[in-house]
Chains A and B, each alone.
Chain A
Amino acid sequence: MAGESTQRMASEDLGRAKNAYERARFMRAISGTIPFSLVVAFAMIFGTRREIGLPLGVALLGLAAFSLHRGGLFGRAVLPGIVAGIFPLLLAFAARACGHVCMGDSCMSLCVPACSMGGLVAGAGLAWLGLRTKMAPTFFVAAFGFTLLTGALGCSCVGSAGVLGLFAGLVVPLLPALGIRRHA
């Protein structure tokens, strides 16, 4: 009888310990996304259209909170992914500030080349980090997602073309790195 009562108390205490653990992780995940909300706010202030910035920002912060709460490779991908995405974001804003470049009769926006270049550099950085720390393929995929969402805040400057440029730039260095880690 005493044994049963002790076991029941232990399993009740285990339940409470699990709840305390999850609650704390949840609160840390929410507070962990606060710095990233500054990135979204920065993007909205410096030019991202609201109809694009808001859904992208909500998706980015929601995924960040979820990944931080979940932990593991998803959680570890949040910070490097978003930091990497700031590079194409800033390049896109710089390109917008430059306006159009005209050669002869034709003019073009620098947004797409800036985003492709930004994606390339960001992807290379993530690939280097992932290979150096021997991360599993999930890390590369998750970090790619965060970089794309962050960069898209700026690279939507000429609509989907900028985002596609970013995507292409990211994929070029990340795919080989992903392949290496898959076969490691």
Chain B
Amino acid sequence: MEETRRRELERDFQRLQGGDRSALEPAFRILFPIVRSFAARLLSPAESEDAAQLTLEKVFARIDQYDAGRPVLPWVLAIAEWECRTLRQRTRRRKEDTDVTLEKKRTEDESPEGNAARHEELQQVFQAMGELSETDRLALREFFFDHDEVADANARKRKQRALERLRLVVRRLYGW
């Protein structure tokens, strides 16, 4: 940052500490692009926007903690770095929680109780298929057992319609 802008920023910060609100916008306009590009180097585009916004809020909320006479930018970027790190940890924790939830579900499904429940559901589906027409049953047999990637659009539509009718029957008979 050039010397004049740096001095301008320091003066704005000192004025803000004294309560001069007119210094806020000029200081913000200088800092906004700097903080944004700093955060963009550490985070994804969406996260970097959040981090930049939180950083600037914290900077102006804690302006009384800024040591007048020291350079502004290192202080601001230290807050930015902290916000980026916090956001990154939060994202990582959220991803870990999702992984744990999925793993928990997989483990439950593979448990004896999970297996028994799945078996019962499958029995119900096969029984429901008995209520469908021959055409629908044929289409679903291909879906369940053949797993062919059918190129024909009509065949795909038949399978889709058969599945929808099967869902309605299952809901009517077993409530799920």
**Among the listed A13, A14, A21, which residue makes an inter-chain contact with B61, where contact means beta carbons less than 8 Å apart?**
A21
Q: Is the interface of B mostly helix, strand, loop or mixed?
A: helix
Is there contact, CB below 8 Å, between A16 and B19? no
A69's closest neighbor in chain B, by CB? B19
**Among the listed A10, A24, A28, A71, which residue makes an inter-chain contact with B60, where contact means beta carbons less than 8 Å apart?**
A24
Query: A25–B56 Cα gap in the complex (Å)?
Result: 15
Query: A17–B27 Cα gap in the complex (Å)?
Result: 11
**Among the listed B19, B25, B28, B32, which residue makes an inter-chain contact with A72, where contact means beta carbons less than 8 Å apart?**
B19
* Residues in chain A near residue B59, CB distance under 8 A: 17
Is there contact, CB below 8 Å, between A13 and B52? yes
- Within residues 1 to 47 of chain A, which ones have a CB less than 8 A from any CB in chain B? 9-10, 13-14, 16-18, 20-21, 23-25, 28
The count of residues in chain A whose C-beta lies closer than 8 Å to any C-beta of chain B is 18
The reply to whether the CB of B43 lies closer than 8 angstroms to some CB of chain A is: no
Q: Which of A13, A14, A23 has the most CB of B within 10 A?
A: A13
Query: A70–B28 Cα gap in the complex (Å)?
Result: 20
- A70 and B62 in contact (CB under 8 A), knowing A9-B49, A13-B53, A16-B57? no
Is there contact, CB below 8 Å, between B57 and A17? yes
Interface residues of B (CB under 8 A from A): 16, 18-21, 24-25, 28, 32, 49, 52-53, 56-64
